[in-house]
């Protein structure tokens, strides 16, 4: 078998899964219930965030919080302050791709 196979969780429980975490990309699967999310942090690479289900509430740098529905892909630049939350009753599910993999990015 040439390909590698990875499985994502399918439930509604909070999850932050490192599906692929190698020197090329970081591919993460995240599930958050109401009032759950990530601690405020700065992106350590270019971040591509896809909303699979639910509604994402996200604050970037000093902007007001924006909300994005399922089917939305956000491209977030390196070194952007991020505040990721689920403020809604529906479960939020995200796919997050960091490319290139963190650690290969150079400060300008």
Look up the CATH superfamily of 15-98.
Jelly Rolls (2.60.120.10)
CB contact burial 40-50 (16+ within 10 A = b; e otherwise): eeebebbbbbb
Q: Which residues contact 24 (CB under 8 A, 6 or more apart)?
A: 99, 100, 101
Q: What is the DSSP string of 85-105?
A: E--SSSPEEEEEEESSPTTS-
Summarize pLDDT for 95-106 with one digit per residue, the tens. 999 999 998 766
For the whole model, what pTM was predicted?
0.91
Break the chain into its structural domains and give their ranges.
15-98
Summarize pLDDT for 28-85 with one digit per residue, the tens. 999 999 999 999 999 999 999 999 999 999 999 999 999 999 999 999 999 999 999 9
From the centroid of its chain, how far is CA 72? 12
Query: Cα dihedral angle (13, 16, 29, 101), rounded to 10 degrees?
Result: 180
């Amino acid at each position: 078998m040439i390909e590698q196979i990875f499985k994502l969780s399918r439930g509604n429980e909070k999850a932050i899964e490192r599906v692929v975490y190698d020197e090329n990309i970081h591919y993460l699967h995240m599930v958050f219930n109401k009032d759950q999310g990530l601690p405020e942090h700065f992106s350590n690479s270019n971040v591509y965030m896809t909303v699979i289900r639910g509604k994402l509430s996200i604050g970037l740098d000093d902007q007001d919080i924006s909300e994005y529905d399922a089917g939305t892909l956000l491209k977030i630049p390196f070194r952007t302050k991020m505040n990721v939350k689920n403020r809604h009753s529906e479960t939020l599910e995200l796919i997050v791709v960091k490319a290139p993999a963190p650690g290969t990015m150079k400060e300008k």
